Structures are given as C-alpha cells and as structure tokens.
C-alpha cells in the first residue's frame, strides 16, 4: 500500500515512474575485418554491441532480417525481445545472428542499470575465469608425432600460462589425415571444412594415437590436454581410440561423431560411445537453443558440453543450458575460438556467473591484430597464468575507439557509428 512507504522511498519511486522508457531505434551490422558486429541503437543515446564469429562475413542480411521485429522494444527487457526472434533462429548460421543481437541487448541492459553484465546473470561466483588456448597455436613444421610435441612445448611456455591446451587431431585436422596416404578407407574431400569421414586403417589409428602420446609426454600432469578430433569417426574406431588414450587422463575428446556444422547432435550415438570409455566425451559447439540440448542432457549422453555463446542463442540462453546440465552432472567447456574481442567480453561475464560445472572457455582473440587498437576496456595483459580477471565496468565493459574503428570500416558500413 502507498501509505506503508517511507517518505524517503516515495521520491525514488516517483523518479522511476517518470523515467522515460528506453526504446530500440535501429539495428545495424558492420563487417569489421572479417567479424560481423551488431550495434543496437536506442533513443537515449546508449548503444549495445554484439559480435558473431570471425569469418561469417555473409551474416549482415541475417541480422537485419530481425530488425523490424524488435524496433520500438525496450532492450532492457531482454527476454521479451528474445521471445520475438529466438523461435526464428536455427543452427548455424542463423543462430549466430540471434546470438549477436542477444549479447548486444545485455550490453545495453548493463549500461542502463550501471552494472556489469555478470550482475544481471545472477552475480559472479568467481573473480577470474579459466581459458584454454583456442586458436593460439604455433605453426606446425610437419605432421609427425615430434611436430605435435614441439607445438605443445611452445604453448606450454607461452606468456598466457595456459593450464589447459586443446589440439586438433584426426578428422578435425585435415593436414594430419592428408600427410600420409591410406589412413582411412576413403579419399580426402575438398570444399566444406571437416567433410572427411570413414573407417580408419590400422596405420591411421596408430598414427593419431602416437601424436597424442607425444603431446602428453610434453605436458605431463602440469597442463591439461583436450582433443578436438572430429567429426567423422566411425563408432568402432572412436571406441578403440578412446580406450587407447584412457591412461593419458585427457580433459576431453571433442566432436568425434557429430559437431561443427552438422545440424543435429545424435544423442543416442554419443551415449553409446560414452558408456564404453572413461575418456570424457564432449560436443555441442554447433547446437542452437536449449531445446536442441535436451536429449544430450537428459540422456546424459556426454560428459562435457561446449556450446558457443555466439551460436547457441546468446549468454542468457547458455546460462540456462549450463544450469540444466549441472543438474544432470554434465560439465561445461564453452567453444569460442572465433568469437572476437566483444565475444571475449561476453564469455568473461558469462563464465563469472556460471555454476561450478564450468571448466574453461575457448579463448577468442582479435583477428586481425588491429582489433586490439580499436577497442578499450580489456585488461592488459588479458590473460595471466591461464586466467582472465573479471572486470566491473557497466555492460560488457568493452567500448570502441570510434575514430580508430571508423578507419577500418568499408564504404558500405561507413555510417555504422553515426
């Protein structure tokens, strides 16, 4: 009742009631470098930014498809806005457009509230978040086991101080599979990445195992080793490989059966694999929306899930999935190799607030390097001893140096910051 309010409370309530409602007035998308960047503009001079994976240079029309659906909405009512567009998303690449918009909405909501985004995610439970190397790998000099040992030795000594390193092997590494003929019973495919698939020869299986043994010998128990291994494996080969590497105590083996751009997860097949090995089985980077994780989680088909916040539907969606996975004893190691520096900020705020089934997220970095010259707000150095300290700036806390960023825009995008 009004009469029960203190005199001190009344003016604050009146101020809140009279505050003008913030509205979305524009949705823009620019390709900066090779990264699609979404800007949501409001009538109160506050803009929010989201980013899609680098290399999705085709994404602009997909982002703009949603524009008319959310104009005039209050961007701080994130879920209300997302209810209008989430159902119109899908597996890659449409999920990327929805995700970038969602992240930009949280950026605005944090700025309006004057708090970092992690506060809106329920608050942080950790002050620093663990990362793994993502795309930060030295160039290979060859594809023999000793070359894998050399690369992980360099990463072990890297200034980031990685505590967990992920390496691509088998069908996720076409160079390894093409380096020697006769490693599987099919011929190499060209075109779409990771299109190779088939039954391994004995020679091929032994070669992959030898590369893992070489890496593990270097890392020992000081730095964890995860493998990005597929998709493309046949079930029997996957089982035989996992059994062979069980003594190496890997952090996980990723996407052996489905993954990347395959628009389905195949929970039953993963469940069969998981039941035959003690090696943690990981998948999920390509999956959009919570409903498409339902079988993987409820059937406890994998040990680790790795959604990408820039594909799954955004950071709010990913928080929901992580909590549901936690109820089922499943760990979380988010994908993020191409998520860029705005994506990095989204990862940090999200990871700060995720439950304790969080392991680490895949470290996105600026591509090209000049991205570090067009944004402010990131710590320096970004990574210390394998972790990133969580910052407290409102919103995502990463802003553009507009003049520097404008110089990187194509003529088509020259009005992006106006």
102 and 200, same domain (yes or no)? no
Q: What is the mean pLDDT of the chain?
A: 94
241 and 152, same domain (yes or no)? yes
Could you list the beta-strand ranges (E) of 97-204. 128-132, 164-168
Residue 12 lies in a domain: no
Give the pLDDT confidence score for residue 7 in this predicted structure: 39
Give the pLDDT confidence score for residue 4 in this predicted structure: 40
157 and 229, same domain (yes or no)? yes
186 and 51, same domain (yes or no)? no
Instruction: Check pLDDT > 60 for residue 69.
Output: yes
Give the pLDDT confidence score for residue 19 in this predicted structure: 64
Residue 16 lies in a domain: no
Instruction: Check pLDDT > 50 for residue 223.
Output: yes
Q: How far apart (Å, rounded) are the C-alpha atoms in residues 51 and 68?
A: 20
Tokens of 195: 């299109």
When pLDDT is averaged across residues 129-151 and rounded to a whole number, the result is 95
Residue 6 lies in a domain: no
196 and 61, same domain (yes or no)? no
- SS3 (DSSP) at 61: helix
Residue 61 lies in a domain: yes
> In degrees to the nearest 10, what's the CA dihedral of 363, 312, 46, 58?
90
Is the pTM higher than 0.85?
Answer: yes
Listed residue (286, 356, 311, 338) closest to 129, CA to CA: 356
74 and 201, same domain (yes or no)? no
Q: How far apart (Å, rounded) are the C-alpha atoms in residues 98 and 29?
A: 12
Instruction: Check pLDDT > 80 for residue 52.
Output: yes
Q: How far apart (Å, rounded) are the C-alpha atoms in residues 89 and 94?
A: 5
151 and 96, same domain (yes or no)? no
When pLDDT is averaged across residues 193-203 and rounded to a whole number, the result is 90
Q: How far apart (Å, rounded) are the C-alpha atoms in residues 382 and 36?
A: 22
* Structural domain count of the chain: 2
In this predicted model, what pLDDT tens digit does every residue of 248-284 receive, in sequence order? 999 999 999 999 888 888 999 999 999 999 999 999 9
To which H or E segment does residue 207 belong? helix 202-219
- Residue 10: pLDDT band (50, 70, 90) is very low
Give the pLDDT confidence score for residue 1 in this predicted structure: 35
Nearest 5°: the CA angle 79, 90, 355 is 50
94 and 134, same domain (yes or no)? no
Tokens of 154: 């360099």
327 and 208, same domain (yes or no)? yes
Instruction: Give 174's contacts (C-beta < 8 A, 6+ positions apart).
Output: 188, 193, 194, 196
Tokens of 24: 């979305």
67 and 128, same domain (yes or no)? no
- Residue 195: pLDDT band (50, 70, 90) is confident
380 and 323, same domain (yes or no)? yes
Q: How far apart (Å, rounded) are the C-alpha atoms in residues 333 and 283?
A: 9
Give the pLDDT confidence score for residue 17 in this predicted structure: 52
Residue 14 lies in a domain: no
Residue 17 lies in a domain: no
Give the pLDDT confidence score for residue 135 in this predicted structure: 84
Give the pLDDT confidence score for residue 145 in this predicted structure: 97
- Residue 35 is classified by DSSP as E
Q: How far apart (Å, rounded) are the C-alpha atoms in residues 48 and 2?
A: 36
Residues in the chain: 418
Residue 292 lies in a domain: yes
Which domain covers residue 343, as residue numbers? 119-394
Residue 310 lies in a domain: yes
223 and 294, same domain (yes or no)? yes
In this predicted model, what pLDDT tens digit does every residue of 229-238 receive, in sequence order? 999 999 999 9
Q: What is the CATH number of the domain that holds 269?
A: 3.20.20.120
- Residue 263 is classified by DSSP as S
Which carries the bigger pLDDT value, residue 118 or residue 195? Answer: 118
In this predicted model, what pLDDT tens digit does every residue of 306-340 receive, in sequence order? 999 999 999 999 999 999 999 999 999 999 999 99
- Check: CB of residue 183 under 8 Å from CB of residue 177: yes
Q: What is the CATH number of the domain that holds 96?
A: 3.30.390.10
């Amino acid at each position: 009742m009004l009469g029960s309010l203190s005199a001190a409370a009344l003016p604050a309530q009146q101020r809140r009631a009279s505050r003008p409602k913030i509205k979305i007035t524009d949705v823009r998308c620019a390709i900066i470098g090779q990264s699609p960047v979404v800007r949501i503009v409001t009538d109160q001079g506050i803009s929010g930014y989201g980013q899609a994976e680098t290399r999705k240079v085709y994404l602009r029309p997909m982002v703009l498809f949603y524009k008319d659906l959310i104009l005039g909405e209050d961007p701080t009512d994130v879920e209300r806005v997302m209810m209008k567009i989430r159902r119109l998303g899908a597996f890659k690449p449409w999920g990327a457009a929805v995700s970038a918009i969602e992240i930009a909405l949280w950026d605005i909501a944090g700025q309006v509230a004057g708090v970092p985004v992690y506060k809106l995610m329920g608050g942080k439970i950790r002050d620093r978040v663990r990362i793994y190397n993502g795309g930060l790998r030295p160039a290979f000099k060859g594809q023999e086991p000793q070359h894998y040992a050399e690369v992980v030795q360099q990463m072990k000594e890297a200034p980031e101080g990685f505590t967990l390193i992920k390496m691509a092997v088998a069908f996720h590494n076409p160079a390894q599979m093409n380096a020697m003929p006769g490693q599987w019973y099919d011929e190499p495919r060209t075109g779409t990445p990771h299109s190779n698939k088939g039954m391994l020869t004995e020679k091929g299986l032994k070669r992959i195992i030898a590369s893992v043994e070489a890496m593990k010998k270097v890392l020992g128990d000081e730095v964890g080793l995860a493998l990005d291994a597929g998709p493309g494996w046949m079930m029997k080969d996957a089982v035989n490989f996992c059994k062979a590497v069980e003594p190496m105590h890997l952090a996980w083996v990723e996407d052996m059966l489905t993954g990347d751009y395959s628009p389905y997860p195949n929970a039953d097949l993963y469940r069969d694999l998981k039941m035959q090995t003690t090696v943690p089985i990981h998948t999920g980077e390509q999956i959009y929306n919570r409903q498409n994780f339902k079988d993987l989680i409820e059937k406890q088909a994998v040990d680790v899930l790795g959604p990408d916040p820039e594909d799954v539907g955004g950071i709010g969606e990913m928080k929901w999935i992580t909590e549901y996975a936690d109820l089922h004893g499943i760990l979380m190691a988010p994908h993020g190799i191409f998520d860029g520096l705005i994506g990095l900020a989204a990862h940090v705020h999200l990871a700060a607030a995720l439950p304790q089934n969080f392991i680490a997220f895949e470290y996105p970095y600026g591509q090209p390097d000049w991205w570090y010259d067009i944004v402010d707000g990131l710590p320096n150095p970004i990574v210390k001893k394998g972790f990133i300290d969580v910052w407290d700036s409102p919103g995502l806390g990463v802003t553009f140096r507009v003049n520097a960023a404008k110089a990187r825009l194509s003529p088509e995008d020259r009005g992006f910051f106006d």
